[in-house]
Structure 1
Amino acid sequence: MQITECNETHLEVLAGLFNDYRIFYEQPDDLPAARAFIRQNLVEQRSRLFLLVDDRGEPLAFSQLYPAVCSLAMRPYYYLSDLYVREPFRKKGYARYLMNHLTDVFAREGAQRLTLDTATTNRIAQSLYESLGYEREEVYITYHQLLGSAAERAESGR
């Protein structure tokens, strides 16, 4: 197995995996939009993407992380936004292998932590993360406000 930090040469395989990941989370199949999004992230260096392939070069999994800074610790950290293992390769240790790699890479770079969210219903992912030493957040409460477009806000009177 090999894990590679990706660049634009990996665009097509990443776009396919990202599209499959979105479908897994019940988003519409839209390979062109997935490709455009991943391309923009690569070109603008908004995220870091890692690809796990087997010894034959078959793509097994990918991850996408976004850089951030912890003001209190005054150190960088990474937010793991996306982790996806293709269906035929699940429950074989590939997610664990990829997560351990990410931990090693970012620890060597001096990052303060890796942070992630997962669906409350995704018990398999929760079990993996907890087995790797990730701690469930119990101190902070997270809030979201969906912003929508300017036209949507104007219609709603905000």
Structure 2
Amino acid sequence: MSIEIKQATPEQSPEIAEMVGQLLEEIMNNIGVKAFNFDWNQTRDRLRQFLLDQKYFVFVAEDAGEPVGFIALYEGYALYAEGAFGTIPELYVRPEYRSKGVGKKLTDKAKEFAATKGWTRLEVTTPPLPQFERTLEFYEKEGFSITGGRKLKVNL
């Protein structure tokens, strides 16, 4: 296994959209709640446009040219963060590639990219606990720390 991390191109939107669907399905299956509406075509098209507009940055882990995981980032701004910072809305590694260093390579690439953008920090929200305790442990092992609070939303 020789994993390469590459910045995604708009042409890779179909493969990444497929992995987004797998990520959301896994979360919903584990928590027993239909928390997301997923439409592959809409996700593919939205991702393609985000990448073209450079509003969203995605890095893909490939094994022999086949996508096996990805990490997405976007820029935000906040006074508490002392300026521009990055958020990781999605990180996914196919199950057969987990615990093999792929997630670490993806987060390392995200940190490297964040530094080139001059971001003050990276933030991430884990899926619900306790179902995703391993995910929290992974992020803590990669240097992320709990800052408190919970992620809340309101649909508009």
Aligned to 1:3: 5
Unaligned runs of 5+ in 1: 149-158
Bigger shift: residues 23-32 or 94-103:
23-32
CA shift, 1:28, in A, is 5.7
CA shift, 1:145, in A, is 4.5
Q: Is 1:129 aligned to residue 139 of structure 2?
A: yes
CA distance in 1, matches of 2:151, 2:79: 19
100, 103, 113: which one pairs with 1:95? 103
Which structure has the greater CA radius of gyration? 1
CA shift, 1:65, in A, is 1.1
- Normalising by structure 1, report the TM-score: 0.81
- Normalising by structure 2, report the TM-score: 0.82
Identity across matched positions, percent: 23
Task: Give 1:22's aligned amino acid.
Answer: L
Unaligned runs of 5+ in 2: 29-35
Aligned to 1:154: none
What do the CA deviations read for 1:95-128 (whole angstroms, capped 9, x no partner)? 1111112112212332100000002231111111
SS at structure 2 position matched to 1:124: helix
CA root-mean-square deviation: 2.0
CA distance in 1, matches of 2:11, 2:43: 15
Q: 1:10 to 1:19 in 2, by over 3 A?
A: same
Q: Is 1:64 aligned to residue 72 of structure 2?
A: yes
